[in-house]
Amino acid sequence: MGVVNVTPDSFSDGGRYADTDSAVAHGLRLLADGADLLDVGGESTRPGATRPLVSEELDRVVPVITELAEAGARVSVDTMRSEVASAALEAGASVVNDVSGGLADPDILRVVADSEATYVAMHWRAHADHMADFATYDGPGGVVGTVRDELAERAWAALSAGIAAERLVLDPGLGFAKRGDHNWELLAHLDALAGLGHPLLVGASRKSFLGRLLADEAGEPRPVDEREAAVVAISTVLAEVGVWGVRVHDVRSTRDAFRVVAALHAARQTTPRIGAR
């Protein structure tokens, strides 16, 4: 899943693709680099971000989705709003990627249920401007058990609204109301979330916990645009465990890593085991 941020304030590339022409051109580059899905978003969810008006979000994403869909791309809309989801589906999107899992706007579940779109429900507790206040997981099972249970509730809500089980994908929500150690624990125990019975989407690309991991000797986090090797490493591991998708900013490097993984798997299947007769 290649990221197309049509925003002025996203943490990774805010402002670079804030107009329709540059966003479409960026999406087409990601498509050429091997993206299976383009995730178009008009609202930044970086920590502390404020929300745009509904009209602003619509103006940002609908023209971009229309052009990318007409160009043959499979498109996802990254939104928490039912109005935006509805307009995006009409414009040609086939996936609704809702970081709130239906909590920010429950009507989004009905919109998706009335369509044939895939729905991605992410683990979420609060909007970006105060989500850090909710990064506490002291109950039984810690962050893994709590995220599993809260995602199970969102899955139940989606299914109850009429979204077919085969069209439901879950996302652990790395960085959303979570500290760095929470993110690592979730990545290490994705099997617990996969046990809910739905495919997983994981978005670790360029996030701050990677910047802190790669900090210099003075403790200064690695800059956002210099974290790609770490993103590729995580994506490679995720490909091995079989997640449904990875949400990345640099599609080409991740696609290259996937080709390496695929080549190794093919070699294992065709090369005789040493000592075998």
| Mean pLDDT within 258-272 | 86
Residue 244 located in a structural domain = yes
* pLDDT of residue 109 exceeding 90: yes
* pLDDT of residue 64 exceeding 60: yes
Residue 36 located in a structural domain = yes
Residue 276 located in a structural domain = no
* pLDDT of residue 15 exceeding 60: yes
Using CA atoms, how far apart are residues 126 and 131, in angstroms rounded to an integer?
5
pTM reported for the whole predicted model:
0.92
pLDDT of residue 277: 47
For residue 210, what are the domain limits? 2-270
Give percent above pLDDT 70 in the chain: 95
CATH of the domain at 153: 3.20.20.20
Give the helix ranges, DSSP H, for the chain.
20-32, 54-70, 82-91, 107-113, 142-160, 180-188, 190-194, 208-213, 228-241, 251-270
Contact 235, 248 (CB under 8 A): yes
Residue 81 located in a structural domain = yes
Residue 27 located in a structural domain = yes
Residue 275 confidence class, pLDDT cut points 50, 70, 90: low
Residue 182 located in a structural domain = yes
Residue 240 confidence class, pLDDT cut points 50, 70, 90: confident
| Mean pLDDT within 49-75 | 95
Q: How many domains does the chain have?
A: 1
Give percent above pLDDT 90 in the chain: 81
- Which residues have a catalytic role annotated? 207, 247
